[in-house]
Amino acid sequence: MKNYRLLRILALITSFGSYVMLLMGAIVSKTGSGKGCGNSWPFCHGQLIPESLPIETVIEYSHRIVSGGVGFLILILTVWSWLAYRTNRRVKVLGFMSLFFVVLQGALGALTVVFEGAFAKKFALALHFGFSLISFASVVLLAICLFQLREGTAARVTQTEPKVSISKRLHYAIWGLAAYTYVVVYTGALVRHAQATMGCGYAFPLCGETYFPNLSSLAGIHMFHRYAAISLWLCVLGFLWVVIRRYKEREDLFKGSWIAFILITLQALSGIITVFTGGQLVAALVHTTIISIFFSALSYLCMQVGLPWKREQEESRPSAGKETPVLS
């Protein structure tokens, strides 16, 4: 199964590359280097190798080069996975999402560069980060899926533990939690691109003496994200409580809910540190890293429980042994 092992290694490399791409995008935004290459794309100032290389140009052009390289890796991983597991729907869907959203975020990034002034730039840049996050999570899930598949079969992931029935409410709760996390991510991206990180100064948990600043102000944008983040922490805590009480037998849900709660708590702490350090770059990158891992963890739980509207008999239908891997 040499080729199979190579595919899994490629999946790991691509996952790490997707994370680096996500992190470099955050560096571009945090350092204000988005215009480091002017209004030209994909080259920098209309040149393959710019004559002048100030730091903002190096940061922006490096981000473009890394994004292009990672996009190429995702293309190879997607095609290879499809060829290896031609009848595995999960592999096909995750591969498509990885490729589709990396192309979409690249196109959106190009639009914000070329058509500045005719585009709602702050909103578009927030979308740019959101699409990058989906692509990253999809690549990570594809890698996990490839590792979970047995080397002797291309069948769907099999549970190593007894099947425990999950209520429809919990199905929808997990998917709703992932969707709400994505919304909260956009509010955080808006804070970054609106330069509202220090909208409330060093004040925490309130914004000075104001509970609800005007949403059109930097303080209002900042507090809107802060309240959304607090509500997300409470939702994850509630989810953990339900799983501990009713679904301890499901090891994937039990461990996953604890990991999610630990990550969202660390995310909250990193947000507080970001405020107290005046929005320092390292703190902001840690904040980005944790939310990316947290969203991927929730996406993994969604993958484990399946679609909430899918009939239970279809979810539990055995499929092992029905497929033979192409690359053996």
Domain span at 84: 2-148
C-alpha triplet 190, 126, 222: angle, nearest 5°? 10
On whether both 18 and 118 belong to a single domain, the answer is yes
On whether both 230 and 305 belong to a single domain, the answer is yes
Q: Which of 120, 148, 176 is the last residue of a domain?
A: 148
On whether both 60 and 138 belong to a single domain, the answer is yes
On whether both 143 and 227 belong to a single domain, the answer is no
Query: Is 280 within the bounds of a domain?
Result: yes
CA distance 248 to 222: 37
Query: Is 112 within the bounds of a domain?
Result: yes
On whether both 277 and 185 belong to a single domain, the answer is yes
On whether both 184 and 120 belong to a single domain, the answer is no
How many CB atoms are closer than 10 A to CB 188? 22
Judged by DSSP in three states, 17 sits in helix
On whether both 10 and 140 belong to a single domain, the answer is yes
On whether both 131 and 32 belong to a single domain, the answer is yes
Per residue of the chain (328 residues), give pLDDT as tens: 558 889 999 999 999 999 999 898 888 888 877 778 877 777 887 788 888 788 888 988 898 999 999 999 999 999 999 998 888 899 999 999 999 999 998 888 777 776 655 445 566 666 778 888 999 999 999 999 999 886 545 454 444 444 567 888 899 999 999 999 999 998 888 888 778 888 888 888 888 777 777 777 888 889 999 999 999 999 999 999 999 999 888 888 999 999 999 999 999 999 999 989 888 888 888 998 999 999 999 999 999 888 877 644 344 444 444 444 444 3
Among 51, 56, 60, 151, the one annotated catalytic: 60
Ramachandran area for residue 46 (φ above 0: left; ψ -120 to 50: alpha; else beta): left
DSSP letter assigned to residue 36: T
State yes or no: is 60 an active-site residue. yes
pTM above 0.85, yes or no: no
